[in-house]
Chains A and B, each alone.
Chain A
């Protein structure tokens, strides 16, 4: 099993460790609810060093990445971060990732841990006709996601991260420390303001120690999942997989049809999605992944892709993938929980409003 560079620090904090995509990761420290609340109200820190970092450099870096992903990379300004699916020719999703236009001819791509090899092989396969250099630097980087409204205040006061700048949300800056780049991105997957700090292992370990000394709340993958679900961000393996297109998963906004040629464009132009990803609030009970969803005519219309008790809403919340032809927004919806059907309310709004600007 893989261990992150600060594994021992999680163990010392008595974190509950689990296998996640071949990595031994903290799922929870002391209290999950307190971890979620720390991120919404103050500052929490996640070790997400298991995630992958690819670098694309060279004269055609932007052209290449723009061709590979469905969102518009060319149109984004330098210094911006862009969320995007990565699709096959038939439009199905290989992964979802974040592209960081760090500086001219220099792009970083952050991908899900479980998909590092699959993604890198895909990028590599298409790289030969572009004037670029493509490297998988995942082993050289540790990554902390520092999230919550007080993130900038806290990071700017630490010795290791005092050079951080107050950049806009979904922006990125690079600072060279001892000849190695440290990348500060105002991104995250919690809906809150925050920074993701990508850096060499020893540097990140120092940042972690300083954050702990500053009383930032260590947060596990459990809290991370509740936070992202409360703001309705999709998770690969749940809302997205190898058989679905972005259009089946409420990600139409990430497929830019006027974005020149990109892999999957033709298929997605013609694709008429059979599914719709919807948000549900349970009247009673806690929806969980895999539970069946029914309409008012007692027809099975789909399945819960992610569900939890919401810390902010104090109700059971879920994302569900339903068949378009059997679902209508006016229909009564039921979730089957242990052979009983519980009513749930369809909603168009996120369950919780994140505080990012």
Chain B
């Protein structure tokens, strides 16, 4: 069974979100990295990009597949993890260390729409 830390939020697109004040750190879950297999390429957005909830912010590629990344909260990109672009396999090694972007949250009420660990676990088990 995949690792689903209690202190994070999740989406049905298999992203994890860590909320600290008005900053959200975003990555993909252990379940996602496991289904994708060997991750060979990650493309992230430019700094200061304004992103609307649900918009594509990048891609993650395995040997045979290309998957879009969807931003789970509206906000502006304030940091991106260049290490994960350089060494995409780090996502396979630890999906919760290998964060992708940090955004400044525009609308805090959107956080309520994210899944808590127990709900995400149910979602993974039902799929």
Contact = CB atoms under 8 A, between A and B. Distances in A.
Contact of A31 (B38, B43, B59): B38
Contact of B41 (A32, A225, A286): A286
Contacts of A316: 41
Contacts of A9: none
Interface residues of B, number: 11
A338 B59 CA distance: 10
A49 interface: no
A286 B40 contact: yes
Interface in A13-37: 27-28, 31-33
Given A32-B38, A286-B40, A225 B64 contact: yes
Interface in A72-122: none
A68 B40 CA distance: 43
B1 to A, nearest CB: 15
B38 to A, nearest CB: 5
A285 B63 contact: no
A11 to B, nearest CB: 18
Interface of A is mostly: mixed
A31 B64 CA distance: 11
A352 interface: no
A338 B61 CA distance: 13
B108 interface: no
Nearest to A315: B40
Contact of A32 (B37, B59, B66): B37
A222 B41 contact: no
Contacts of A225: 64
Interface of A: 27-28, 31-33, 222, 225-226, 285-286, 288, 308-309, 311, 316, 338
20 contacts: A28-B64, A31-B37, A31-B38, A32-B38, A32-B64, A33-B37, A33-B38, A33-B63, A222-B63, A222-B64, A226-B63, A226-B64, A285-B43, A286-B40, A308-B63, A308-B64, A309-B40, A309-B61, A316-B41, A338-B59
